[in-house]
Amino acid sequence: MLSHLFLGMSLVGAEWVLYILIILSVISVAIMFERTFFYKAASRNVNVINDIKTAITQSKLPDRLDNALKVIKVHTKSKQYEQNMGLHVSFVLLNFIKDKSY
């Protein structure tokens, strides 16, 4: 009885499984490329944030924001990226003030 069931399933055809595997393989390769681009961009931002932190720690309190904005202008290429980095600078400054590490 069970052998007849498996024989019937094998005769139905399994090409749909091949199509599913091909589609899933293409999707997985697309995800790999997307993750590669994401982590490259994220590592670039880490370098910029580290430069901002050093600019903040090496300057006196009134000049910290100006020095951080100068570092941002050096590293930015577009206005939207500059605005995002401005948010990062405010986050870094708030953490420094909260941690009393200045």
* Tens digit of each residue's pLDDT, the chain (102 residues): 777 776 776 667 777 778 888 999 999 999 999 999 888 877 766 777 777 677 767 766 666 667 767 776 776 666 666 666 666 667 666 666 655 544
> What pLDDT shows up at residue 18?
80
pTM for the model stands at 0.44
Query: Can you read off the two tokens belonging to residue 82?
Result: 């500059």
Distance CA 25, CA 16 (A): 14
Q: Which two tokens stand for residue 90?
A: 């405010």
Question: What is residue 102's predicted lDDT score, i.e. its pLDDT?
Answer: 46
For 1, residues 6+ apart whose C-beta sits below 8 A from its C-beta are: none
d(CA 37, CA 50): 20
Give the tokens for residue 61. 């309190």
Calpha distance 35→52 (Å, rounded): 25
Type of residue at 39: Y
What single letter denotes the amino acid at residue 16?
W
Which pLDDT value is given to residue 83? 65
Name the DSSP class of 1.
-
Output the CA torsion sign for 15, 16, 21, 22.
positive
Residue count of the chain, please give it: 102
Domain locations in the chain?
13-99
